Structure 1
Amino acid sequence: MATPIIEAEGLGVRFVRNRRRQLRIREMFIHRGGRQPNPGEFWPLRDVNFAINPGDAIGIIGRNGTGKSTLLRLIAGVLIPDEGKITVRGRVAPLLELSAGFSNDLTGRENVHLVGSLHGLSSNFLKKTFDEIVDFAGDQVSKAIDTPVRHYSSGMKVRLGFSVIAQLSHPILLVDEVMAVGDAEFRKKCYATIERLLAEGRTLVLVSHNEGDLTRFCNRGLYFNAGKLMTDGSVQDALDAYNAVVRA
């Protein structure tokens, strides 16, 4: 039996309304003796258990606010669990937000080199593939590549971010609603890239409200509701469970 590449055991994360979440390591010292319930706290995810095998393509399904993007941030290591644990056995290529992780004060060119280097791409590799990255992002991005990204639309940032992330050889790809942004030509490029990465044996975790994208790429679905994993089965099983709640 294959060792899971991603594994959640009793996973939970806590937020406090109207307050930034404190660093978990600080909380461990301050609240060593236990914590009193806070009426302003809520758990976007709690008591979540699943295992994802290498090469799986997982669709994360649920309404807005049900912990889908939070789960991707836990897998990426951006958030630390408050309960349980998440084990990730491989490097992660994340495209999680509309800002694509870029610095607004830097140009598109500078951000390509910054984000690429942070994910382990060498300077020589980035120089060699720079034109290819920008061409993939499209004419609008190409014309603005030496402009600070604060002037980019969210779609331009996503295009350039996806172009960089597609260069990574990391075994795990996290995608959060990226294909909902951009025109038909860009989505076609995204589809071809994801299909190529899956054919190479990569593991995909995809958050999308587009049933066509979910059924096209994913062999399994996880449906979340109110912070709980309600269905872990085929994509159609998860979509059926989601749609039943929506109709109700």
Structure 2
Amino acid sequence: MAVIDVAGLGIRFKRTRSSRRSFKDLFAGRDRRTRPGEFWALRDVSFAVEAGEAIGVVGRNGQGKSTLLKLVAGVVLPDEGTVSVTGGVAPLIEITGGFVADLTVRENVYLTAGLHGMTKAEIDAAFDDMIAFAGIEDFVGTPYKHLSSGMKVRLAFSVISSLDEPIMLVDEVLAVGDKAFREQCYERIERLLADGRTLFFVSHNERDLKRFCSRGLYLDKGRLVMDGPIDAVLSRYGEDHGGKA
């Protein structure tokens, strides 16, 4: 059963205007449906993800990977095509963005988990484990703004990965934090996959992609270039870009 079904997906954004844009820049790459100053971040993208699959999304920076995750998460809406998602999502995308600077760690946990659908009783039951995973037991009453950047990331990952949702959307979050914390994250993701969760994972780290994913999607210039086994997708991507994931 497909839990993510994407058909003919496209989204366009406005370019940042610059006094240094040339006459050529105004017209290069514009199609008849794109107005001046706009570009297609994604165009004509179609695929389906089955329950329990682990999908790695690869491509250079600026090719639409994070935008695709945001579309699947429902954070942004497409200009054309459809995105259908069956079941809730745990979005590990810009994970520290939803926390409130002046609230304490405790208040932020209840606010963030509650906004993602957890009841107070569920948060009460999971609270100590969330804090312990993040390693910030001594900072529960501290305003969030006084945490270090590493603490903020650990807290955010701990809360979002604790959500009882069938689909995980992960965008480069494993690129941050120290080695010990990254290994904690790896182990948690592996346990969730073993429990039958679905993973949609954006990363430039070939080792992480091979560790978690059996299938890959390769995006280039907003188009889906290849959909296939992760090893084959990484090989094609490496051939196109000098062996660099």
- TM (norm. structure 1) is 0.87
Deviations 1:168-192 (A, max 9, x none): 1111001111111111111111111
1:119 aligns with 2:155: no
Q: Any conservation in 1 of the 2:95–2:157 contact (CA below 8 Å)?
A: no
- Out of 156, 175, 183, the position equivalent to 1:180 is 175
Structure 1 residues 44 and 36: CA distance shift in structure 2, 3 A: closer
Deviation, structure 1 residue 132? 1.1
Deviation, structure 1 residue 158? 1.9
Q: Any conservation in 2 of the 1:174–1:206 contact (CA below 8 Å)?
A: yes
- Out of 203, 212, 225, the position equivalent to 1:217 is 212
1:194 aligns with 2:200: no
Deviations 1:126-180 (A, max 9, x none): 1222121111012xx3333333323334432221111112221111001111111
* Aligned residue number for residue 202 of structure 2: 207
Structure 1 residues 166 and 98: CA distance shift in structure 2, 3 A: closer
Equivalent residue runs for 1:124-135 within 5 Å? 124-135=121-132
- The unaligned stretches of length 5 or more in structure 2 are 18-31
- Out of 151, 163, 168, the position equivalent to 1:168 is 163
Cα distance in structure 1, aligned partners of 2:89 and 2:66:
15
Cα distance in structure 2, aligned partners of 1:41 and 1:156:
38
- Out of 80, 85, 105, the position equivalent to 1:88 is 85
Q: Any conservation in 2 of the 1:61–1:209 contact (CA below 8 Å)?
A: yes
Q: Any conservation in 2 of the 1:100–1:157 contact (CA below 8 Å)?
A: no
1:142 aligns with 2:140: no
* Aligned residue number for residue 4 of structure 1: 2
Deviation, structure 1 residue 98? 4.6
- The unaligned stretches of length 5 or more in structure 1 are 20-34
- Counterpart amino acid of 1:230? V
1:159 aligns with 2:149: no
Q: Which runs of 4+ in 1 moved over 4 A?
A: none
Cα distance in structure 1, aligned partners of 2:183 and 2:158:
13
- Counterpart amino acid of 1:198? L
Deviations 1:208-229 (A, max 9, x none): 1111110000010001000001
Cα distance in structure 1, aligned partners of 2:163 and 2:184:
16
- Counterpart amino acid of 1:93? A
Q: Any conservation in 2 of the 1:100–1:158 contact (CA below 8 Å)?
A: no
Q: Percent identity?
A: 56
- Counterpart amino acid of 2:117? G
* Aligned residue number for residue 30 of structure 1: none
Give the CA RMSD over aligned residues.
Answer: 1.7
Cα distance in structure 1, aligned partners of 2:147 and 2:241:
35
* Aligned residue number for residue 222 of structure 2: 227
Please say which of residues 148-157 and 114-123 is displaced more in the overlay.
Answer: 148-157
Structure 1 residues 243 and 216: CA distance shift in structure 2, 3 A: same
Cα distance in structure 2, aligned partners of 1:148 and 1:95:
22
* Aligned residue number for residue 63 of structure 2: 66
Cα distance in structure 2, aligned partners of 1:151 and 1:231:
44
Cα distance in structure 2, aligned partners of 1:97 and 1:134:
20
- TM (norm. structure 2) is 0.88
Deviation, structure 1 residue 100? 4.7
Cα distance in structure 2, aligned partners of 1:130 and 1:242:
41
